[in-house]
Amino acid sequence: MTLRLLALPGDGIGPEITEATCAVVRAALNGVQIDVAQIGFAALEAAGTTIPEKVIAKARAADGVILGPVSHNAYPPVADGGLNPSGVLRKQLALFANIRPARSHPAVPTPTGHAVDMVVVRENLEGFYADRNMESGPAEFMPVPGVALSMRRITEANSRAIAEAGYALARRRGSRRVAVIHKANVLRLSDGLFLDTVRDVARNYPEIETDELLIDAAAALFVRDPTRFDVVIATNMYGDILSDLASELAGGLGLAASLNHGADHAVAQAQHGSAPDLAGQGVANPGSLIGSAAMLLDHLGQPDAAALIQNALFAALCAPATRTPDLGGAASTAAMTDAILTHIEQAK
């Protein structure tokens, strides 16, 4: 069966790394179809919204989506219609899990000198995210001038779903331990519910040991000894912050891949944002989105194509000459992509 993917290039370095990723996916999987549609500022200019309804429908109809980064975190907001496309897709396609591996490469130095191989499993639909939090009404408001309130939503259902995803992944990886991140000593009701639910799921995985860690202690331990972490399960915002930390500890955001998935849909997305400082220069590291696309193909039942991409990315990173500047090299986005394409052709 032909796989039909949708690529959404996005803003900043998005178009450059999305083009590279599509070329790599085409090389690794014969016959794959990749449709392209605009989101972000390009869509805002053409259609008055950063994510048109038509694009949401295309994403729903596709087997999988390759999502480029979008600039959405300007404050104050730059324009009306500036919805966060990534948040909209997560909600519309019910992508409850964000799987964020952080794995160092033997040839790429890490800031602590430790090899890192962990996966942050981040809840993706609720928590402290005002744009997708509440069924009705704003999740942030000012009851009186000078006082702003934010609501954080934690449900048993979503906590169970992310815990199931985390422990199932741990079992597939052969992990001996899972870390659960919380602040239930302060957020007794919300993080208490999350923690109780994870404990309940953990009972079905007696071979796996569970470490319950406060978010602040976990951040310190990540830096002190990242090797003690394997699968890390966290609510939305803790998971967002810890996964950036983990990726830097593993060698940099330029290699940080992720997959968003629910029961019916999956979206490949780099962990980083649109890096406007690098946009248009042809120097962005495409590894993050290429690695994300490999995760997507694996999820869609194409493990051979996924492995072909992962191995080619690994091989390209071995040679300093084919590394981008964020990794201390001098290669352009295109040169690193060409190296990956060459490794794929050699392996086929």
Q: Are 18 and 289 in contact (CB under 8 A)?
A: yes
Phi-psi region of 111 (alpha: psi -120 to 50; beta: other; left: phi over 0): alpha
Query: Which residues ranging from 14 to 43 are in contact with ligand ATP (CB under 6 A)?
Result: 17
For Mg ion, the closer of residues 239 and 273 by Cβ is 273
Smallest separation, CB 24 to ligand ATP (Å): 14
Q: Is 254 in the site for Mg ion (CB under 5 A)?
A: no
Select which of 11, 63, 129, 238 is catalytic.
Answer: 129
Q: Which of residues 127-166 bind ligand ATP (CB under 6 A)?
A: none
Angle at 342 between CA 6 and CA 255, to 5 degrees: 60
- Does 244 qualify as catalytic in the annotation? yes
User: Is residue 285 near ligand ATP by the rule CB under 6 A?
Assistant: yes
With contacts defined by CB under 6 A, name the span among 41-49, 65-73, 148-156, 200-208 that binds ligand ATP.
65-73
Q: What are the b/e assignments for 294-326, b being 16+ CB within 10 Å?
A: bbbbbbbebeebbebbbbbbbbbbeeeebbbeb
Per CB under 6 A, the list member of 274, 292, 302, 322 interacting with ligand ATP is 274
Q: Which stretch binds ligand ATP (CB under 6 A): 67-75, 118-126, 157-165, 207-215?
A: 67-75
Q: Is 231 helix (H, G, I), strand (E, B) or coil?
A: strand
* Residue 75 sits in the site that holds ligand ATP (CB under 6 A): no
50 binds ligand ATP (CB under 6 A): no
What is the nearest approach in angstroms of ligand ATP to the Cβ of residue 118?
Answer: 19
Applying the rule CB under 6 A, the residues between 229 and 258 that interact with ligand ATP are 253-254
* Residue 9 binding partner per list Mg ion, ligand ATP, none, with a CB distance cut-off of 5 to 8 Å that depends on partner kind: none
Does residue 167 have an active-site annotation? Answer: no
Residue 318: what residue type?
A: C
273 binds Mg ion (CB under 5 A): yes
DSSP string covering 91-157, please? HHTT--EEEEEEE--TTS--TTS---EEEEEEE-SSBS-TTTS-SSS-SEEEEETTEEEE--B--HH
Q: Which residues are catalytic?
A: 129, 183, 216, 240, 244
